[in-house]
Amino acid sequence: MELSAADLAVLVDHTLLKPEATPADVTALVVEAAELGAYSVCVSPSMLPLPDAPVKIATVCGFPSGKHTPAAKAAEAAESVRLGADEVDMVIDIGRLIAGDAAHTETEIRAVREATEGAVLKVIIEAAALTDEQIVAACRAAEAAGADFVKTSTGFHPTGGASVHAVRLMADTVGGRLGVKASGGIRSWADATAMIEAGATRLGLSGTRAVLDGAPHTD
């Protein structure tokens, strides 16, 4: 796969979700995202609104644990959209999924979907903490509930972030009907392009500049 830095940049949600992030940090993030040609910035809900941002604005919901009620997630997501978020990345309650309650997973995704009309909804499944069967069940629930993307990870879970195996399985399960966002631990050009080759259609990167700087140079 021959990709330029610009080709990859337009797939990137340039991300800053550290609890200690300040408004000045977020302002700098937006400037850098525009400079790098990223698709969007992804920031915490408390950082909204971002008036006149020259890129799309994504935020998170139920982050990072997912241990919130469907109603709480829906209310948080609705407020974020009211404050200008174009995209919402929600975290599912993976404990309920691991316990075999995929119906709850579908219910909570649908609640957020209904609260975010007009916005892109991505569903974070924390794939590194799941079996292959649970990954498939989460992807099916996301599709049934009307989500737009499935996403590997928050980047905060101790089991790890994105893997090529998980991205490929997620992409195979959704079959192009949903996007696949790879996020968590992607720190190099090789990592990023491996995820795209496995089927990722969006990348969540906090070190976007370093990844793009690793692009092969052609003279």
Give DSSP secondary structure letters for 205-217. ESSHHHHHHTSPP
For the cut 80, the answer to whether the pLDDT of residue 219 exceeds it is no
DSSP labels for 129-146? Answer: GS-HHHHHHHHHHHHHTT
Residue 6 confidence (pLDDT) above 60: yes
* Nearest alpha carbon to residue 182 among 140, 117, 128, 129: 128
pLDDT score at 176 = 98
- Predicted confidence (pLDDT) per residue in 70-95, tens digit: 999 999 999 999 999 999 999 999 99
Q: Enumerate helices (H) and strands (E) in the chain, giving the number of each.
A: 9, 8
Mean pLDDT of 9-34: 98
Residues marked as catalytic: 89, 151, 181
Is the whole-model pTM more than 0.95?
yes
What is residue 217's predicted lDDT score, i.e. its pLDDT? 81
Strand partners, 61: 90
CA distance 136 to 142: 10
Instruction: Output the six-digit token pair for 37.
Output: 């040609």
- pLDDT band with cut points at 50, 70 and 90 for residue 38: very high
Provide the sign of the torsion angle of the four alpha carbons 152, 176, 100, 163, taken in this order.
Answer: negative
> Angle 128-121-9 (CA atoms, 0-180°, nearest 5)?
75
Dihedrals phi, psi of 31, to nearest 5 degrees: -60, -45
Q: What is the mean pLDDT of residues 200-213?
A: 98
With pLDDT > 90 as the criterion, what percentage of the chain qualifies? 98
- Residue 1: is its pLDDT beyond 70? no
Residue 25 has pLDDT above 70, yes or no: yes
Q: Is the pLDDT of residue 58 over 80?
A: yes
**Averaged confidence pLDDT in the chain:** 97
> Domains along the chain?
13-213 (3.20.20.70)
Which pLDDT score is estimated for 218? Answer: 62
**At CA 155, angle to CA 109 and CA 182, rounded to 5?**
70
What pLDDT score does 170 carry? 98
Q: Which DSSP helix (H) or strand (E) runs through 31?
A: helix 23-36
Q: Residues 134-191: pLDDT tens digits?
A: 999 999 999 999 999 999 999 999 999 999 999 999 999 999 999 999 999 999 999 9
Contact between 44 and 63 (Cβ < 8 Å): yes
Mean pLDDT in residue range 6-17:
98
